[in-house]
Amino acid sequence: MDEAHSFQKSFWKRQGNKVPGSVHVVTAGSTPGGVPSNVVGAQYSYTTLITSKILNKEAQSSASVPSYIGQPGNVSKATPSLDSSKSGHSHPLPPIKNFNVFMQQTDNEWDDALDDVNNSNLPEEEKEVTPDVPVFQKRVHTKTSRPGTPSASETNTPSEQPVQSPRPSESKRKNTNGLKDNIPDLITDPSNLLRSCIQDVDKVDAKYTRFKNILSCSNIDLAALRELSWSGIPADFRPMAWQILLGYLPCNSDRRVATLARKRKEYEDGMTAAYARGTAGLDQTLWHQIHIDIPRTNPGIPLYQSEATQMCLERILYLWSIRHPASGYVQGINDLVTPFFHVFLSMYIDDEAETYDVSLLPKEVLSVIEADSFWCLSKLLDGIQDNYTFAQPGIQRQIATLKELTCRIDAPLAMHLQNEGIEFIQFAFRWINCLLMREISLRNTVRMWDTYLAEGSEGFSEFHVYVCASFLATWSVQLKQMDFQDIMIFLQQVPTSNWKEKDIELLLSQAYMWKSLFHNAPNHLKK
């Protein structure tokens, strides 16, 4: 036990205990076990230590060197030098003045038992420092190295590759939560997003620049914004442009901050009143219908399968329903809120919205997105509310118009549908009730809504009918070769999964052409 304890001590405190592998202190003129006057800090052969007192200079040069100082065949510079200039006579081993001098004269590879030595209590001149001595090849220890020195894994050995520095792109990583940097400014006023838009004119087109110029005005020209938005809105400007086109965000920049703060506070107060007693105090029939419809909303998109997102949509739909008792909640309205939530979320994040985890958002940001989505949904439904009142007269009227329009633009298709016993209400009801959101992807729906909002108050009602007619005519060749059953199956699962933005623009262009021909001349629709 004593030998093991002595082995853990620092080599200069071992006091000559003969532990295997330890340093045995020997001084000139002393007997074994005597108090040493000089400390020898390197290991030599047993013969050298015993006979060092009587060996001459030639015999001293034959002393063996420990293997850890240098490898066979290498000349180690860590061997103590013999200097007799100060004493005036030859001395086998000079005295070691302090630990720093000792480290300069020996190698810095020590046994593992010395690695845990704490030198914090040593005098300043004896504190351990990393010696600046040449090392030809070091042993690689698997245990922990002494504090302040690099571990074996950090030392570049011949078999290791040097650690590469991070690439410049990695040094400027995005926020770990995917959030933009100017979140507080964006919450206060969405027009602050113009500051973070692309500034390099060589990387943007003329349309991008025009959007930025229009939205940067203190009083936005709404007509010019509608005209420019018809062909699509750049993603950077879409959140702000949608809010302005819907009339939620004022065109006058001086009124925006106060208006947004007031509307968001109003929504917060409405939610507090509605949920004052929790879900137990809600209209259970209404709440249950919303609660079971929310998980069915966009089931293939991770964003809308998040519990946090579903809770937001549930609150939005419930509050809208109790504020509009004439219609209440109708299946299909749950789809209409998702584009707003998607677009307004993209204003605060750099990542892809469809796959973003909203639980990473600060609570304040999520509350703002929820409130803005509620008010924009309300603005949208105000223009098509008769689609959701009793007997849904708005949908019935639009289906009748769609049938007349199809007879005019594609009479053979209309005749084939009639011969097969297909009623337009059997497939077109969902097209109008959900604004084709079940037929095309969310990304393409967002692009289509750019045009709908640019059309003004008639975009989601009258213009949508022409889009439905164009959509039906797109599949005319296939439909005319099918029977009743195949037609119904095909129209329930229209193959639009590969549609791109150009396909949506072609659809909208055809709809605009037919609207220009027939909208202001309704008698042309009648035979």
393-416 residue pLDDT tens: 999 999 999 999 999 999 999 999
Strand-pairing partners, residue 219, are 252
Does pLDDT of 55 surpass 70? Answer: no
Token duo for residue 464: 């949508």
Give the integer Cα–Cα distance in Å for 433 and 381. 11
**3-class state of residue 184 by DSSP:** helix
| Spatial contact of 112 and 143, defined as CB atoms under 8 Å apart | yes
| Spatial contact of 389 and 326, defined as CB atoms under 8 Å apart | yes
pLDDT mean over 448-477 = 96
**252: DSSP letter:** B
Give the integer Cα–Cα distance in Å for 351 and 365. 15
Give the integer Cα–Cα distance in Å for 69 and 109. 8
Measured between alpha carbons, how far apart are the two ends of the chain, in Å? 113
Give the integer Cα–Cα distance in Å for 184 and 364. 10
Which is more confidently placed, 465 or 519?
Answer: 465
Does pLDDT of 193 surpass 70? Answer: yes
**3-class state of residue 115 by DSSP:** coil
Q: What contacts 446, CB < 8 A, 6 or more positions away?
A: 238, 339, 342, 343
Give the integer Cα–Cα distance in Å for 305 and 309. 7
Does pLDDT of 45 surpass 60? Answer: no
Burial class (CB in 10 A: 0-12, 13-18, 19+), 406: buried
Does pLDDT of 418 surpass 70? Answer: yes
Residue found by looking up tokens 């993209």 in the block: 346
pLDDT mean over 139-164 = 40
pLDDT of residue 103: 57
pLDDT of residue 175: 61
Token duo for residue 491: 């129209």
Give the integer Cα–Cα distance in Å for 130 and 146. 11
Give the integer Cα–Cα distance in Å for 79 and 74. 12
Which is more confidently placed, 159 or 457?
Answer: 457
Q: What is the CA radius of gyration of the chain?
A: 41
Does pLDDT of 97 surpass 80? Answer: no
Which is more confidently placed, 497 or 119?
Answer: 497
Q: What contacts 485, CB < 8 A, 6 or more positions away?
A: none
pLDDT mean over 63-72 = 41
Give percent of the chain above pLDDT 70: 64
* Burial track 415-436 (b if 16+ CB lie within 10 A, e otherwise): ebbeebebebebbbbbbbbbbb
Q: pLDDT-derived band of residue 522, with 50, 70 and 90 as boundaries?
A: low
DSSP string, 442-488: HHHHHHHHHHHHHTGGGTTTHHHHHHHHHHHHHTHHHHTT--HHHHH
CA distances from 165 to 150, 162, 170, 175, 348 (A): 17, 9, 10, 21, 31
* Strand extents, DSSP E, 26-168: none
The four Cα atoms 51, 52, 55, 56 give a dihedral, to 10 degrees, of 180
- CA-based nearest residue to 21, from 11, 34, 33: 11
Does pLDDT of 523 surpass 90? Answer: no
pLDDT of residue 505: 96
Q: Pick from 26-30, 116-120, 351-355 the range whose average pLDDT is largest.
A: 351-355
Q: Mean of the per-residue pLDDT values for the chain? A: 77
Which is more confidently placed, 46 or 400?
Answer: 400
Does pLDDT of 40 surpass 50? Answer: no
pLDDT mean over 53-80 = 42
Q: pLDDT-derived band of residue 106, with 50, 70 and 90 as boundaries?
A: low
pLDDT of residue 71: 42
- Taking only the tens place, the pLDDT of each residue in 293-332 is 999 999 999 999 999 999 999 999 999 999 999 999 999 9
Predicted structure pTM score: 0.67
**507: DSSP letter:** H
| Spatial contact of 450 and 238, defined as CB atoms under 8 Å apart | yes
Length, in residues, of the chain: 527
Q: What contacts 526, CB < 8 A, 6 or more positions away?
A: 404
